[in-house]
Structures are given as C-alpha cells and as structure tokens.
A and B are shown apart, each in its own frame.
Chain A
Amino acid sequence: MPLARAAIDGDVVALRTLLTTVAPNILRVVRRVIGGSHPDVEDVAQECAVEFVSALPRFRGESSIRHFAARVALRSAMNARRRQRAAKRNYGIANELEADETPGEGAAPDSLAASRASAQLARNLCDALPPAQAEALALHCVLGYTMSEVASICGAPLETVRSRLRTAKAALVAHALADPRLRDLVEEMA
C-alpha cells in the first residue's frame, strides 16, 4: 500500500518498482484470458500495464494491489479478446485467439483435447455473458479466485457474486454438454 500510494503521488521509482512487482500477475492473467501462445500476449500485457498505471488513482486500498492489478488486467485482456472477435466478424481477419486450439503434431489424446476445449469454452463464455457475470466467472473459473476474493475484487456483496456465479456456471455446464469434446466429461456425472 505505501508503494502504491507513493506511485500515485508521482514517485517514478515507486511506480517502476510497483510495475515490476505486479507485472508477473498481469502476464499470468493475460495468458489465461487470451491464451498462452497467442502472438499478442506481449502487446496486450503492455496495454494492461498501462491501464493499471492509469487506473492507480482509483485504487482505494479495499483489496490488495495484486487483486486490483488482476482486475484491471482482466478487463483489458477481455476487451482485447472482444476487439479481435469483432475484427474477425467484421473484416474476416483470421482469428488468432484460436491459436491454442490448433492441434499439434499427431493426434492429441482425448484428455488433452478435452482440456483445451474446456479452457476455450470458459473464454468463449466470458465473451458471451453479461459483463458482471463474465467478470465473476473469469475471476473464479479462469483466474482461480475464491468467491470472497471475487467479491472483494469487484467491490460487490458476496451473495451477489454467488448469484452471478451460479448463473454463469450453469451456462458453463450447459455449453459443455453441447460440446462433443466435453460431453463425456460432463455427462458421466450428470
């Protein structure tokens, strides 16, 4: 918090130190949201870092600075995904976001295919859900934060987050049932 305060007050050294501290978290968020081998990881992470610094004056210390950075990075990365999807729809640009789905040499085992499909499903659902639900789902299912952490990061009541997640996760299971690569995984339990 003192470091963040000093950075907000214009201390360039503190800002540099703060950015160095949170940059690995930002990179992790970006890789999870747009894909680890996406060619734009570096650019999107840079964009997130700039957004984080720009958003610092809004940081009130209600969550940790890492959580704050994660939320800013999550929003920026999700926006990047939406921009690319829109570009694909409007101009027919090749969708680089699906790069991770490209199968490697030889046939991938079923578990690997299901694993990739599940990650892609979560990302696609985050693109399609209403923003509040998408953010809660991404923080919980993509970044792995607990519900109380999600509530703290979003500044929302725990019950509200719980409700958003209930709806979002029901949609997640429904979409998984509709995906042939994931149907077996879900159906054997449902």
Chain B
Amino acid sequence: MSQLDATDLLCRSRREPLTAEEQRRLKECLEWSPEVKLMNTILIALDEESRIRPGDDLLLARINTRALAELGGRPASVRAPVKRRTFSLLVAAALLLVAGLAGAWLGNARKRPPSTPTSEPAKPRPGAKPKPLAKPLPVAPIAPIAPSSPIEAIPVASASVPSRTGHEARAAAPASASELFARANLLRRRGQAAEAAVLYEQLLEAYPNSREVGPTRLALGKYLQAKQPERALSQYRAVAGAGGALRAEALWGIAEVAIGLGERSLAEQALADLMREFPDSPYAEVARTRAPQ
C-alpha cells in the first residue's frame, strides 16, 4: 500500500468505520509514515478549530441573512455586484458629489460682489480674501453616523460602522442598546474581546430589558468561558431560563462550561435537554456524540 492510500484511509476513518484489516493497516501507517502522522496531526488540529461553538446558530443566520441581502433577493443566475465594486462606486460618487459642491460654491463665491454682507456671521478683515478651499467643508454636509435600527441590530451590527476605530467607538455616546451591541460586536470581531466585554456588560447594566440582552449574555458567556467559567455559566443560565430561540445555544454553552468545570451531571442534563428540545439544532448532532449512552 502506498502512503497516498494510507492518507485516504485516514480521511475515510474520520467518517465511516473501517474494516479490521483497514484499521490494522492505518495503525501501521500512523506508526511508520511521517506523512500520515503529519496529516493526522493537521486534521485533528483543524477539527478543533472548526468545531461547533455556542453562537453558531446566530452566526449562520447572520451570514445567510447578509448574503441574501447582498444578493438583493435576485435569482442565482443574476450575478450580484461584488461588495468591493459597490464600495468603490460609492466612494467615487461621494468624491464627485463633494467636488461638484465645492465647484458650485467656488463659482458662487467668485460671482458674489465683495460688498454684499448677505449672511456672513463675522466680518472679514479689511483686505483679507475668503479662503475658498477651507469653506466647502460646511457646505458639503458630513452625514452624522446614524444609530442602527434596533430591529436590525444583529445583522447590521458588524456592517454598520466598519471604518471606526475602537477608541472612536468608545468615545461616541451610545444612543441605544442596539448601538452598544453593534459597537461591542465590532470590537469583538476586531479581536478586542476585552473591550467588547466591557461594552456588553454596560449594555446589560443600562438596558436590562432590551431585546439585545439574550445575544449579549451569550457573547459575554463565550468571552468569560475560559477565564471565569462560573460567571459564564450564570450568563448561559440566564439565557436558558428565558427560553426562546437562544436556549439551544445557552444549553450548549452550559454543557461546555460544565465539562470544563468537571460537573458531569450538569453537562449531561444540559445535553439531554438540548437533544430533547432542539433535535434539529446543529448542536444536537454533536450533543448526541457527547451524551452518555
């Protein structure tokens, strides 16, 4: 048997039971073939990275919603504009608009007689000429960053303020729970998990009855899971207790934290509840492999 065949056996062994002879051959290859052992190590590492996690239900829903929104509900045969192309067109249009407004203002300024004080708030110094290049800024309106709609908080969260830095996001006063949630998600996606957690906690404190509380608790639980599992557990329990669509993820989170804490009975209970109440959830398949026979 060649090594290539052995790596094929390795791939098959991850999805289907091998015959006794195949198992023996694979075991031999894992002992003497560096190629097979290396590939086995790679696949195990990647399995860990691509495992199902709490929040995947929401994540998949967001991905689908945003993808369909980007396609604009058009049938598959019509190719949707690429995000980058759209962005470039918008930038070009904005530049043209600014240039046009500046040009118009410049034209008006030249036509205007110097002695007509129409609306000037402060009189210019004698002999001083207006600075046409410095003025267009107030003429060309800079749109304020509008707070995202509360209803679309989750799908819009990561897309609404993509160009702002974390400091800017923290500096601006939050208008609503959805705004806080969007900013926290943005920070989290940028890898600033600690800063995001602060905003999540602010949201829970300031808006304990908002519709963002559930996803916020899940996100916070996920962040706390490794460092403060007890606090993560309390967040997951709060979501699970509230019921609703997020309960499946909360139960999964409880099971993961309980396994980490060595609380076997709690983990088993959570997995059993998950499989019973949400048999079609993406977590259920994995839960079945973890739950005791």
A interface vs B, CB < 8 Å?
Answer: 7-12, 15-16, 19-20, 23-24, 26-28, 31-32, 35-37, 39-40, 42-43, 45-47, 49-50, 53-54, 56-57, 96, 99-100, 114-116, 118-119, 121-122, 140-142, 144-149, 162, 165-166, 169, 172-173, 176, 182, 185-187, 189-190
- Tell whether, in the assembled complex, residue B68 and residue A16 are in contact, meaning their CB atoms are under 8 Å apart: yes
- Tell whether, in the assembled complex, residue B34 and residue A39 are in contact, meaning their CB atoms are under 8 Å apart: no
The answer, among B31, B34, B71, B190, for a CB contact under 8 Å with A53, is: B71
Q: How far is the CA of A144 from the CA of B7 in the complex (A)?
A: 9
Binds A, one of B55-63, B126-134, B206-214, B245-253: B55-63
Binds A, one of B35-43, B93-101, B145-153: B35-43
The answer, among B39, B51, B67, B190, for a CB contact under 8 Å with A50, is: B67
B276: Cβ under 8 A from any A Cβ: no
Tell me the smallest distance from the CB of B266 to a CB of chain A, in Å. 25
Chain A, Cβ-Cβ closest to B13:
A144
Q: How far is the CA of A47 from the CA of B46 in the complex (A)?
A: 21
Given contacts A23-B60, A42-B63, whether A15 and B75 have CB atoms under 8 Å apart is: yes
Binary per-residue interface labels of chain B (63-101) against chain A in the complex, 1 for a CB within 8 Å, 0 otherwise: 110111011010111011001000000000000000000
- Tell whether, in the assembled complex, residue A146 and residue B11 are in contact, meaning their CB atoms are under 8 Å apart: yes
Q: Given A16-B64, A119-B42, list of 18 further CB < 8 A pairs?
A: A10-B75, A15-B76, A19-B64, A23-B63, A27-B59, A27-B60, A36-B51, A42-B62, A42-B158, A42-B189, A50-B80, A53-B71, A115-B44, A169-B7, A176-B34, A185-B34, A185-B38, A189-B34
Q: How far is the CA of A47 from the CA of B42 in the complex (A)?
A: 25
B21: Cβ under 8 A from any A Cβ: no
Residues of chain B within 8 A of A172, CB atoms compared: 35, 38-39
Name B's interface SS. Answer: helix
- Tell whether, in the assembled complex, residue B76 and residue A31 are in contact, meaning their CB atoms are under 8 Å apart: no
Q: How far is the CA of A99 from the CA of B193 in the complex (A)?
A: 13
- Tell whether, in the assembled complex, residue A32 and residue B49 are in contact, meaning their CB atoms are under 8 Å apart: yes
Tell me the smallest distance from the CB of A52 to a CB of chain B, in Å. 8
B12: Cβ under 8 A from any A Cβ: yes
Chain A to chain B contacts (Cβ below 8 Å), 11 pairs = A8-B76, A10-B77, A20-B64, A39-B188, A46-B63, A99-B191, A115-B44, A142-B46, A147-B8, A166-B4, A185-B37
B interface vs A, CB < 8 Å?
Answer: 3-4, 7-8, 11-12, 14-15, 31-35, 37-39, 41-46, 48-51, 56, 59-60, 62-64, 66-68, 70-71, 73, 75-77, 79-80, 83, 158, 188-191, 282
Q: How far is the CA of A16 from the CA of B66 in the complex (A)?
A: 12
- Tell whether, in the assembled complex, residue A186 and residue B49 are in contact, meaning their CB atoms are under 8 Å apart: no
Residues of chain A within 8 A of B3, CB atoms compared: 169
- Tell whether, in the assembled complex, residue A19 and residue B49 are in contact, meaning their CB atoms are under 8 Å apart: no
Residues of chain B within 8 A of A36, CB atoms compared: 48-51
Tell me the smallest distance from the CB of B195 to a CB of chain A, in Å. 13
Tell me the smallest distance from the CB of A109 to a CB of chain B, in Å. 13
Residues of chain B within 8 A of A142, CB atoms compared: 42, 46
Residues of chain B within 8 A of A144, CB atoms compared: 11, 14-15, 43
Tell me the smallest distance from the CB of B286 to a CB of chain A, in Å. 11
Residues of chain B within 8 A of A115, CB atoms compared: 41, 44-45, 48
Q: How far is the CA of A156 from the CA of B71 in the complex (A)?
A: 31
The answer, among A145, A165, A185, for a CB contact under 8 Å with B41, is: A185
- Tell whether, in the assembled complex, residue B50 and residue A53 are in contact, meaning their CB atoms are under 8 Å apart: no
Closest 3 pairs between A and B when the two form their complex, measured CB to CB: A10-B75, A36-B49, A49-B67
Residues of chain A within 8 A of B48, CB atoms compared: 36, 115
Tell me the smallest distance from the CB of A77 to a CB of chain B, in Å. 12
Given contacts A7-B76, A140-B7, whether A118 and B66 have CB atoms under 8 Å apart is: no
Q: How far is the CA of A53 from the CA of B75 in the complex (A)?
A: 9
Given contacts A23-B63, A96-B191, whether A176 and B38 have CB atoms under 8 Å apart is: yes
Q: How far is the CA of A147 from the CA of B59 in the complex (A)?
A: 31
Chain B, Cβ-Cβ closest to A182:
B38
Q: How far is the CA of A12 from the CA of B71 in the complex (A)?
A: 11
The answer, among B42, B73, B77, for a CB contact under 8 Å with A118, is: B42
- Tell whether, in the assembled complex, residue B42 and residue A39 are in contact, meaning their CB atoms are under 8 Å apart: no
